């Protein structure tokens, strides 16, 4: 089962989300799985279970109520976003299996740059020294996943202080640039996406 790869550049969150929904609802058992690589202009996205109190400070950054799992997070240029449009039913995977594949992809990619990251069973995502560097949020419809991961590379992290990231009060975030790794975001995409594709092979 091959996977189609799409480099979408910088794209508005709302239109990208709509496109993912449209693809997922229109697909059938013969539709190809796809991985989308994208960056978003500054936006807060609130997950399905998101609680309004986790937005601590109003600003001119838009807040979008999304249909992914999880709580509030922040996207901006300099953050790698990878969307996994996968027929998990066809591949015999559970949701947790896909979450683990995505987390391990970020962990193995970071290891290539000399960074030791871990996943936490009780708080999905990827952490370096208890600071969050990567997030996971998925939605499943018709046995197919959409949404995916975000991995902080070289962005303005200050808007994270406007929220309880992923619903955790006082959770600090970090990024590759603050850990001494300076690479382009599209370069960071390569080991992350390769790891996901290999795990699904």
Contacts of 26 (CB under 8 A, 6+ apart): none
Q: Is 27 annotated as a binding-site member?
A: no
At 28, is the pLDDT very low, low, confident or very high (cuts 50, 70, 90)? very high
Q: Is 70 annotated as a binding-site member?
A: yes
* CA distance linking residue 25 with residue 141, whole number of Å: 8
Closest to 83 measured CA to CA, from 144, 27, 166: 144
> Which residue matches tokens 């959770």?
171
Q: Kindly list the catalytic residues.
A: 166
At 7, is the pLDDT very low, low, confident or very high (cuts 50, 70, 90)? very high
Average pLDDT, the chain: 94
Q: For residue 18, is pLDDT > 90?
A: yes
| pLDDT tens, position by position, 55-73 | 888 899 999 999 998 889 9
**Within 13 A of 90's CA, how many CA atoms are on the CB side?**
18
| pLDDT tens, position by position, 145-194 | 999 999 999 999 999 999 888 788 888 999 999 999 999 999 999 999 99
Return the pLDDT at 89. 96
At 50, is the pLDDT very low, low, confident or very high (cuts 50, 70, 90)? confident
Note whether 45 and 73 are within 8 A (CB). yes
Neighbours of 188 (CB within 10 A): 25
Residues above pLDDT 90, as percent of the chain: 84
Distances (CA, A) of 47 to 16, 100, 108, 127: 16, 19, 26, 20
Q: For residue 1, is pLDDT > 80?
A: no
Return the pLDDT at 49. 82
* Domains of the chain with CATH codes: 3-200 (3.30.930.10)
Q: Is 74 annotated as a binding-site member?
A: yes
Bridge-based pairing of strands 63-65 and 43-46 is parallel
């Amino acid at each position: 089962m091959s996977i189609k790869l799409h480099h979408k550049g910088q794209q508005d969150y709302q239109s990208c989300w709509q496109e993912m929904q449209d693809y997922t609802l229109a697909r059938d058992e013969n539709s190809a799985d796809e991985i989308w690589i994208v960056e978003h202009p500054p936006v807060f996205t609130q997950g399905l279970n998101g609680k309004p109190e986790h937005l601590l400070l109003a600003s001119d950054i838009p807040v979008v109520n999304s249909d992914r799992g999880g709580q509030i997070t922040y996207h901006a240029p300099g953050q790698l976003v990878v969307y996994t449009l996968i027929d998990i039913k066809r591949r015999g995977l559970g949701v947790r299996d896909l979450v683990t594949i995505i987390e391990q992809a970020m962990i193995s990619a970071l290891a290539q740059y000399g960074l030791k990251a871990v996943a936490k069973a009780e708080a999905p995502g990827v952490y370096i020294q208890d600071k969050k560097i990567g997030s996971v949020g998925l939605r499943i419809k018709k046995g197919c996943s959409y949404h995916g991961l975000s991995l902080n590379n070289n962005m303005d992290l200050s808007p994270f202080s406007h929220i309880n990231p992923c619903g955790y009060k006082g959770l600090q975030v970090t990024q590759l640039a603050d850990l001494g790794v300076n690479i382009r975001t599209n370069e960071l995409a390569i080991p992350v996406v390769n790891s996901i594709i290999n795990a699904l092979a």
